[in-house]
Copies of this chain bind each other. A is one copy, B any other.
Amino acid sequence: MFDILKRIDKPCDLRGLSNIELENLASEMREALFNRLTKIGGHFGPNFGIVEATIAMHYVFDSPKDKFVFDVSHQSYPHKMLTGRRNGYIDDAHFSEDSGYTNPDESEHDFFNVGHTSTSIALAAGLAKARDLKKSNENIIAVIGDGSLSGGEAMEALNIAGAMKSNFIIVVNDNEIAIAENHGGIYENLAHLRETAGKAENNLFKAYGLDYIYEENGNDIQKLIELFKKVKDIDHPIVVHIHTQKGKGYKYAEQNKEPWHWTAPFNRETGLPKVNFGGGESYSQMTIDFILEKAKKDKDFFVITPAMPGVIGMNKEIREQLKDQYVDVGIAEEAAVAVASGAAKNGAKPLLFTNMTFIQRAYDQISQDLCINNNPVTMVMNCSSFNILTDVTHLGIFGLPAFTNIPNLVVLAPSSAEEYKNMLSWSVEQREHPVMILMPGNQVTHREADIDYSEINKYKVEKKGSKTAIIALGDFYQRGEELFDAIKEKFSYEPTLINPRFASGVDKKLIQELEKDHELIITLEDGVVEGGFGQKIASYCGTRNIKVKNYGLEKIFYDRYNPEELLKEVGMTTEQIIEDLKCF
């Protein structure tokens, strides 16, 4: 087991292997992938598809002198195995040593910590620029999947590459699918290129001024070695278009690519997940139910997503049911926001959804294309909680600072199922504001909620007390309830508990009321404190006769943390806050 893989300590060890051994190595690497993924989950399809290409690339090029930049880097597991990190795959005790993405802290063969799409060509172009200034001569290789090509940053970089004059290799790993199906005109072009073995007229890459070469057998090690030898040390930029099979080597993944893009721990024989999620209520299902019902009743309503239907579990059947009321623009967050803004301007009712970490890509479009124009678009952001995605590249904890400081944008933070659903209903119908709704990241809870949110920045006093006011935002409202109970128990008085609902503004009138019989306001928010919700209140109270303590995360790129431990680290467990209260 893993006999050959165990002999590969560094990429150049590959060159001592025979053709047969290289084939067997590929099998061992797939076994190693199974070993890790069945047990702890991770990206499946992208890694199973790129095993042979990774072997061939490391066989031909001389990493780390020659430099690989993997796009998203969710396909870098085989690369990790060949660059001294096989233990993260074959030895369960070492799983936690490897992140799911490239990581310079792990290895000199990794140059960037990445997790967002469409960045590889530009990052690699930067490596090449520095190489040229230093008059060095290594190969720079960007590896990008077809799905990532539709992102603006990738196309900006193709355009830049088209004007470069030195060695630069862009490997386009074309497996015919992003996470869900690909969307957009270029995918027809890629299909033509595949059908014609790279000879179709109107070659997208040539139109960008790039040299181009095609290989149909992107899972054939020897063909790929031959191919990469051809382009090694080339003196100009070239696109190497290889056709691979996503999920290759596992029938369930080959047949059903979308759910096998990423997998939870699963049973290899059956392909079924080891732990059965679902069953109970979820905010995702609530969102789907809302969308389906609304779409049926209102033909002006449509949903739009930049290639992320899965974040709310919107599977193919649901998408087909929605027909033209479902728009996937492909990986293209910027254009997605602009399309939604334009549609709202022309009378439609768009609901845009994706993960918080990805919508950062559209910061400027939210500000300019949407909010200056004040068009009524509803944006539903999943994974905006510290509690869901914990990889440094996928944190949702920067959403409050990023988006609550843009004028005109109403950021709503629901604290219960009823509030979430009522906010959705209110938002898609109103015509006054662009609205961002933060999908809760905690367990579903129930509590009666208002129907109308048109009085902007109006907080709701859920329990009226005195001395201390707890303003607990969104899915941290339950922590506010817990704190309420603890204060009552420890200090024998009832504080005030407030559900602010609006993350993007201060209820000044309420604060003025609180000042009369409260000494302290505590704010709790699910995100980084700096630039976020609570600091607005601290600033408003800066010269008032009421103290303010903001609780939240620090301005740090946390990575793969335990959520409950992190809360402790920043001192915001209920017990810690109770201790703090003794000192204020």
Contacts and interface: CB of A to CB of B under 8 A. Distances in A.
A127 B346 CA distance: 5
A160 B299 contact: no
A369 to B, nearest CB: 5
A305 to B, nearest CB: 13
A114 interface: yes
Contacts of A111: 342, 345-346
A126 interface: yes
Interface stretch (A10-18, A85-93, A261-269, A399-407): A399-407
A531 interface: yes
A339 interface: yes
A24 to B, nearest CB: 35
A153 interface: yes
B129 A302 contact: yes
A132 interface: yes
Nearest to A299: B133
Interface in A321-339: 324-325, 327, 329-330, 332, 334-335, 338-339
Interface string A395-413: 0001001101111100000
Contacts of A123: 338-339, 341-342, 345, 369
Interface stretch (A28-36, A206-214, A225-233, A381-389): A206-214
Contact of A360 (B115, B364, B542): B364
A153 to B, nearest CB: 4
A148 interface: no
Contacts of A208: 184-186, 189, 204
Contact of A347 (B69, B134, B402, B530): B134
A119 B324 contact: no
A188 B160 contact: no
A529 interface: yes
A162 B186 contact: yes
A122 B368 CA distance: 13
Contacts of A330: 156, 159-160
Report copies per complex: 2
A466 interface: no
Interface stretch (A172-180, A415-423, A532-540, A564-572): A532-540
Contacts of A479: none
Contact of A373 (B113, B347, B363): B113
Q: Which of A67, A128, A150, A160 has the most CB of B within 10 A?
A: A160
A319 interface: no
Contacts of A209: 184-186, 188-189
A449 interface: no
Given A116-B364, A123-B369, A372-B557, A339 B300 contact: no
A463 interface: no
A461 B404 CA distance: 32
A529 B539 contact: yes
A526 to B, nearest CB: 15
Contact of A341 (B126, B327, B344, B367): B126
A556 interface: yes
A558 to B, nearest CB: 9
A156 B150 contact: yes
Interface of A: 67, 69, 104, 111-116, 119, 121-134, 150-163, 183-189, 201-204, 206-210, 299-300, 302, 324-325, 327, 329-330, 332, 334-335, 338-348, 350, 360-361, 363-365, 367-369, 371-373, 392-393, 398, 401-402, 404-408, 520, 528-532, 534-536, 538-539, 541-543, 547-550, 555-557, 584
